[in-house]
C-alpha cells in the first residue's frame, strides 16, 4: 500500500515521537513548577511564623512587665501592713494583698504559656527553614539534571519537526488539515490501524466496503464514529 495514506501513516509515527517528547518536557516543567510553588509556600509559612513570633515576644514582654509591676505592688503593700492602725484598714490591706497574689498567679500562668508558645514557634521556624533548605538543595540538583534533559528533548523535537515537515510534504492540504484537526481532538492519534475489521482507535466495526476501498486504492477513509483516518496494514 502506497500513496497518500501510507504517507499519513508514517506522519503519524513521527507525530507520536514528537508527542512523547513534548509530554515528557511538560511533565518535567510541571515538576519544576510544583517545587517552586512548594518553596514559595514554605517562604510564606516562614514569614507568617516569624511575624507570629514577633507578636508573641511583644506579648511576653508585656506579661513580664505586668508581673513585675504586681510583684512590686505586693511588696509595697506588705510593707504598709506594719503601719496599719485599725482593724478595718488591716482587713482592707489583707484583701488587697490576696487580690494581688491572685493576679500574680494569673500573670505567671500567662507568662509561662507565652514562653512555651515562643519556644514552640521557634522550633517551627527552624523546621520550616530546614525544609526550605532541603527544597533548595534538591531543587538545585534536579534543576541541573532536568534542565539538561529538557534541552536534549527540545533539540530532539526540533529534529523531529524537520522530519515532520519532510513527511508532510506532498500531502493534499485539505487532507493534512483534516489530519491535524483529528490529531488535536483525539489525543495525538489521527491514523489508526484496522484490526479484525474494527477501528484501532474506538474499536467500532468498520464497514466492509470501506476496507475494500482502502485495500484497493489506498484511499483515505475515516472511522464513522471517531473520525480517525483508517489504515489497513498489508498482509
Does 206 share its domain with 175?
A: yes
Instruction: Name the stretches of the chain with pLDDT < 70.
Output: 1-2, 235
Does 194 share its domain with 165?
A: no
Q: Is the residue at 158 inside a domain?
A: yes
Does 54 share its domain with 42?
A: yes
**Separation between Cα atoms, residue 203 and residue 151, nearest integer Å:** 38
**Separation between Cα atoms, residue 44 and residue 51, nearest integer Å:** 11
Length of the chain: 235
Longest dimension (CA), the chain: 128
Does 76 share its domain with 160?
A: yes
Does 80 share its domain with 189?
A: no
Structure confidence at residue 86 (pLDDT)? 86
Task: Work out the angle between the directed axes of helices 3-81 and 173-185 (0-180°, nearest 10).
Answer: 30
State pLDDT tens for residues 219-229: 899 999 999 99
Global confidence as pTM? 0.63
Structure confidence at residue 165 (pLDDT)? 93
**Separation between Cα atoms, residue 134 and residue 132, nearest integer Å:** 5
Structure confidence at residue 90 (pLDDT)? 83
Residue 212: which domain range?
A: 171-235
Dihedral in degrees, nearest 10, Cα atoms 166, 168, 171, 176: -160
Q: Is the residue at 1 inside a domain?
A: no
Structure confidence at residue 48 (pLDDT)? 97
Does 158 share its domain with 58?
A: yes
Structure confidence at residue 43 (pLDDT)? 94
Does 180 share its domain with 233?
A: yes
**Which among 87, 89, 221 has a CA at the least distance from the CA of 230?**
221
Structure confidence at residue 52 (pLDDT)? 96
Amino acid at each position: 500500500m502506497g500513496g497518500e495514506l501510507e504517507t499519513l501513516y508514517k506522519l503519524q509515527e513521527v507525530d507520536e515521537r514528537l508527542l512523547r517528547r513534548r509530554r515528557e518536557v511538560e511533565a518535567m516543567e510541571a515538576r519544576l513548577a510544583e517545587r517552586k510553588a512548594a518553596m514559595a509556600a514554605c517562604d510564606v509559612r516562614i514569614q507568617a511564623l516569624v511575624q507570629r513570633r514577633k507578636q508573641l515576644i511583644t506579648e511576653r514582654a508585656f506579661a513580664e512587665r505586668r508581673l513585675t509591676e504586681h510583684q512590686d505592688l505586693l511588696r509595697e503593700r506588705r510593707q504598709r501592713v506594719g503601719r496599719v492602725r485599725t482593724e478595718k484598714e488591716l482587713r482592707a490591706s489583707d484583701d488587697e494583698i490576696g487580690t494581688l497574689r491572685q493576679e500574680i498567679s494569673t500573670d505567671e500562668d500567662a507568662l509561662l504559656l507565652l514562653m512555651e508558645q515562643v519556644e514552640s514557634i521557634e522550633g517551627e521556624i527552624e523546621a520550616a527553614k530546614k525544609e526550605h533548605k532541603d527544597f533548595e538543595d534538591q531543587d538545585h540538583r534536579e534543576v541541573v539534571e532536568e534542565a539538561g534533559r529538557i534541552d536534549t528533548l527540545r533539540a530532539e523535537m526540533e529534529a523531529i519537526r524537520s522530519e515532520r515537515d519532510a513527511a508532510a510534504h506532498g500531502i493534499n492540504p485539505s487532507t493534512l488539515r483534516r489530519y491535524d484537526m483529528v490529531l488535536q481532538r483525539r489525543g495525538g492519534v489521527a491514523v489508526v490501524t484496522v484490526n479484525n475489521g474494527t477501528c484501532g482507535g474506538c474499536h467500532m466495526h468498520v464497514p466492509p466496503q470501506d476496507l475494500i476501498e482502502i485495500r484497493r486504492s489506498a484511499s483515505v477513509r475515516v472511522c464513522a464514529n471517531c473520525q480517525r483516518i483508517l489504515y489497513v496494514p498489508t498482509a
